[in-house]
Amino acid sequence: MNIPNLITVLRVLLIPIFILLFYLPYQWSYLASSSVFAFAAATDWLDGYLARRLEQSTPFGAFLDPVADKLMVAVALVLLVQEHGNLWLTLPAAVIIGREIVVSALREWMAELGARAHVAVSNLGKWKTAAQMLALVILLANPSDFTFWVLFGYALLLISAGLTLWSMVQYLRAAWPHLKTDVEKK
pLDDT level of residue 183 (50, 70, 90 thresholds): very low
Residue 22 forms part of a structural domain: yes
Would 60 be classed as within a structural domain? yes
Q: For residues 71 and 119, which has the higher predicted lDDT (pLDDT)?
A: 71
- Would residue 186 count as lying in a domain? no
Would you say how long the chain is, in residues?
186
Whether 185 shows a pLDDT value over 60: the answer reads: no
Please give the pLDDT value at position 103.
Answer: 85
| Residue 11 included in any domain | yes
What are the pLDDT digits (tens) for 28-40? 999 999 999 999 9
We report the CATH number of the domain holding residue 26 as 1.20.120.1760
Provide the number of structural domains found in the chain: 1
More confident residue, 55 or 137: 137
116: CB partners within 8 A, 6+ apart: 107, 110
Residue 129 lies in a domain: yes
Give the range of the structural domain holding residue 7, as residue numbers without chain letter: 3-181
Q: Tell me if 26 is assigned to some domain.
A: yes
